Amino acid sequence: MSEAPAGAPFGLLAELTYRCPLACAYCSNPLNLADYTDELGTSEWRRVLTEAADLGVLQCHLSGGEPLLRRDLPEIVRHASELGMYTNLVTSALGLSRRAAERLREAGLDHVQVSIQADDPALSDRIAGTPSFRRKVEAMHLVRELGWPLTVNVVLHRQNIDRVGAVLALAEEVGADRVELANTQYYGWAWRNRDALLPGRDQLERAEQVVRAARERLRERMDVLYVVPDYYSRYPKPCMGGWASRQLTITPTGDALPCPAAQSLPLPRASVRDAGLEQIWRDAPVMRAFRGTGWMPDPCRECDRREVDFGGCRCQAFQLTGDAARTDPVCHLSPDHGLVTEAVRAAQGPVHLDLIPRPHRS
Ligand code: SF4
Ligand code: FES
């Protein structure tokens, strides 16, 4: 099988900074945060965005860490907007004052996604490692008042999944257009907390019933997105729609990656400080490593689903087996599937582990 040619990327995740006022125990940012202090400057981001637009990128997700910590955020938004991209701010909402919000609106920001940790102030603040709940709720009301579409994103795990009904009620109360109930992905700091975060099967079954009923009830008013957690699926997720196929990530210091977690993989770095984005996207070894199906091992190589899920997630394969080129162990056909069933088995009893908050870096 030959290597697939590079198509055009559709979405760019611009990780403007890993600095963050929160310290979430499920954070998937890298652990070595001190290595990411030499952030790209405003003119570098402008160039990257221009090159991304030339490549065909249509959606720009401004993320972090907390992107509001970048003073030049309005300028970056304005540039992306002038290039014709749809701009989405992915934020904890801490720092989204009325003045900051009005400047972003004036710069052309199209959409805001606010993360919340739970519906209950004490639980939310404990998971976030910072008092933040009240300010998030105020900011979500502000987003709606200023006329932006609002997505509420909640990372679900063992410690908050039983409250999914109340979380949906909160999203409804603040007037969200869409709720993303995202089960934790075990990369970065979340991997360290995995055994305290992985829900039990009974928790999932209860949550799924609540979500089904809410979807029915809210059909006309709010989109409710819910994806079964990987570890409980027979097949893996089609991560990023395939490696270096539709999505592209730029880290705060300028590394270009096929996905945000790929910086943990032992692949050669490609920096926008050293080369143009088009060349990186097309030719850099980090992009070519798992593009298409030519790299696949058995059992993916002969599997009917190889163009459906692309062998799953390379970062998860690496995290669990130490080899990014193996079939994602989430797949029940993977020879390493026992690594997942063992973690799931351990999650069925009572687990009383404290969450370890991510260290602060702001
Ligand atoms: Fe997907 Fe590979 Fe599993 Fe087939 S064997 S379902 S391609 S992960
Ligand atoms: Fe990197 Fe899935 S998160 S390939």
The atom number, within ligand 1, closest to the CA of 331 reads 3
Under the banding of pLDDT at 50, 70 and 90, the label for residue 349 is confident
Binding residues for [4Fe-4S] cluster, by number, are: 20, 24, 27
Residue % of the chain over a pLDDT of 90:
81
Residue 239, ligand 2, Cβ within 6 A: yes
Atom 7 of ligand 1 has which residue's CA nearest to it? 306
Phi and psi based region of residue 243 (left: phi greater than 0; alpha: psi -120 to 50; beta: remaining)? beta
Q: What pLDDT score was predicted for residue 1?
A: 47
Q: State the average pLDDT over residues 198-222.
A: 93
The atom number, within ligand 1, closest to the CA of 299 reads 5
Residue 103 has which token pair?
């400047």
Asked if the model's pLDDT at residue 209 lies above 60, the reply is yes
Rounded to the nearest 10°, the torsion over CA 183, 189, 194, 196 is -100
Asked if the model's pLDDT at residue 303 lies above 80, the reply is yes
Q: What pLDDT score was predicted for residue 76?
A: 98
Q: State the average pLDDT over residues 1-16.
A: 83
Give the burial string for 54-72 (b: 16+ CB within 10 Å, else e): ebebebbbbbbbbbbbbee
Q: Determine how many CB atoms are found less than 10 A away from the CB of residue 349.
A: 8
* Average pLDDT score over the chain: 93
pLDDT, tens digit (0-9, with 9 covering 90-100), for 27-50? 888 777 788 889 999 999 999 999
Asked if the model's pLDDT at residue 261 lies above 50, the reply is yes
Q: State the average pLDDT over residues 304-310.
A: 96
Q: State the average pLDDT over residues 250-256.
A: 97
ipTM computed for the complex = 0.94
Helices 98-107, 133-145: axis angle to 10 degrees equals 40
Residue % of the chain over a pLDDT of 70:
97
Asked if the model's pLDDT at residue 2 lies above 60, the reply is no
| Helix (H) or strand (E) segment spanning residue 225 | strand 223-226
Q: What pLDDT score was predicted for residue 323?
A: 97
Q: What pLDDT score was predicted for residue 3?
A: 65
Q: What pLDDT score was predicted for residue 31?
A: 77
Residue 192, ligand 1, Cβ within 6 A: no
Amino acid at 150: L
Q: What pLDDT score was predicted for residue 301?
A: 95
Nearest ligand to the C-alpha atom of residue 191:
2
The atom number, within ligand 2, closest to the CA of 312 reads 2
Q: State the average pLDDT over residues 115-129.
A: 92
Q: Determine how many CB atoms are found less than 10 A away from the CB of residue 307.
A: 11
Q: Give SS3 for 151.
A: strand
Residue 299, ligand 1, Cβ within 6 A: yes
Nearest to 176, CA basis, from 115, 86, 128, 120: 115
Residue 235, ligand 1, Cβ within 6 A: yes
Nearest ligand to the C-alpha atom of residue 314:
2
Asked if the model's pLDDT at residue 359 lies above 50, the reply is yes
Which residues neighbour 236 within 8 Å (Cβ) at sequence distance 6 or greater? Answer: 230, 309, 311, 312, 313, 316, 328, 330, 331
DSSP string, 261-290: GGGGSS----BTTTS-HHHHHHH-HHHHTT
Specify the residue for token string 């992306």: 80
